[in-house]
Amino acid sequence: METPASLFNKFRTVVGTGLITWFVLQSYLLNDFGFSWKIATTDAGVTNLLLAGACLLISNNLRYYQPEKGRSVFILVLCLVLSLFWLIACKWLLPQLIPDPAYKAFLIQSLPIRFSISFLIIGCMAMLSALRYMLKDQKANENRQLAAETLARDAELYKLRQQLQPHFLFNSLNSISALIGFKPDEARKMIHQLSDFLRGTLKEEQQWVPLQHELQHLQLYLDIEKVRFGHRLSTVLRHNDAADAMLIPPMLLQPLVENAIKFGLYDTIGDVTISLDALVVDRALQITISNPYDPETASPNRGTGFGLSGVKRRLYLLFARHDLIEIETKNNLFSITLKIPQSLTEQNQILQTNT
C-alpha cells in the first residue's frame, strides 16, 4: 500500500492538472463562441479560481469531519450548497469585471450549464478527498494495530523467558539439596555454577544473540547437570565458525537440552550421551539435539513438556511459522531439529553491537 505522502502528492497533481486543463478548455470554448481572448481568459480565470477555492473548502472539511458509512447524502448536499454559492459569486463578480452586454446575456443563459459543471467538479473533488483521507486513516489504524500486536508479542516472549528461570532453578535447587548430605563439595560447586548461570541469564536482554554466545551460556547449564548426574552424563557439541556467527533467540536451547537429559537418563540404563549439532543449511541455522531412549519403556512424545511447547511458541511469535521444529525417532534415538531463519538486518545489528 502506498504511503499517505505519496498519495497526497498524486492527489495534488491530479487536482492541479484538472483545473489547468479546464481553464484552457473553457477559454477556448468562450473564444469559439465569439468572445475575445481577454474576456475568455478573464471568465475562465475567475470561475476556476472560485472553483479551486470551493474544492479546497470541501477537501479541508472532509479532512476534519468524515461522515459515517452510509451517510453519503451529507457529501452530496455539501457539494450542492458549494456549487450554488459558487454560481452566485460568479453571477455577481463576472459582470463587474466584464461589462459587456453580450457577455452578460451569455452569462445568464449559461448558468445552468455552469452549475452542472461546477457540481461535477466539486463532487469529484469530494470523492477524491474522501478516498484519500479514508486510506490515510486505514494506514494509521494498521500501524496502531501492528504496534499493539508487537507489544503483545514482546510481552508474551518476555513471559516465556521468565518462566524458564524458575523452572530450571527449582530443578537445580532440588539437586543441590540432594547433594548437600553426602557430597557437600559437589553441592558447593553446583551452587557456584548455578550463580554464574543465573548471572548470565539476568544480563541477557537482546532479542538475538550469536550461537557461539548461546553455546557458552549453555555450557554453564551442562556443567551443573554433570554435577547432578556424574559419569552417567556426557555431552557432545558440534558446530563450526559459520554456525557460530548465526543468530538465535537467547535461552532457546536450554529447555530442549534439559528435556533431552531428563528423558534420556530416566528412561535408559547406563551412560548417556546428549549431542547437539549446529550447521548452516540454506542460509538458515539448523540445530539438532539428540538423546537415546528405550522404545519399550519410554514414549518419546512424553518428553515434549514445557520445554518444547515453550520453544514452539517463541518461534511462532518471532517468525509466524509452525514448520521450524521437526521431531524424529530412529534407531533408539530421539531427535529435535530447529531451523532458525536469519535476517541480514538483525545480523548487522548484532555485529555492530559486538564491535
What confidence score (pLDDT) does residue 279 get?
Answer: 93
Helix axes 37-64, 111-180, angle to 10 degrees: 30
Q: How many residues does the chain have?
A: 355
What confidence score (pLDDT) does residue 336 get?
Answer: 93
What confidence score (pLDDT) does residue 202 get?
Answer: 61
Indicate where the chain has its CATH 3.30.565.10 domain(s).
181-354
What confidence score (pLDDT) does residue 300 get?
Answer: 46
What confidence score (pLDDT) does residue 345 get?
Answer: 46
| Chain center to CA of 70 | 32
Q: Percent of the chain having pLDDT more than 70?
A: 78
Flag whether the pTM goes above 0.75: no
**CA neighbor of 338 nearest in space, from 246, 204, 270:** 246
Interval 118-161: pLDDT, tens: 888 888 888 877 777 777 777 877 777 776 566 666 666 555 55
Strand partners, 292: 333
Q: What is the DSSP string of 181-226?
A: TT-HHHHHHHHHHHHHHHHHHHH---S-EEHHHHHHHHHHHHHHHH
Interval 36-75: pLDDT, tens: 888 888 888 888 888 888 888 887 777 776 666 555 677 7
Average pLDDT of the residues of the chain: 78
Cα separations in angstroms, 33 against 25, 39, 73, 103 = 13, 11, 37, 10
Residues of the chain with pLDDT under 70: 1-12, 15, 65-72, 147-168, 200-207, 267, 296-306, 343-355
CATH hierarchy code of domain 181-354: 3.30.565.10
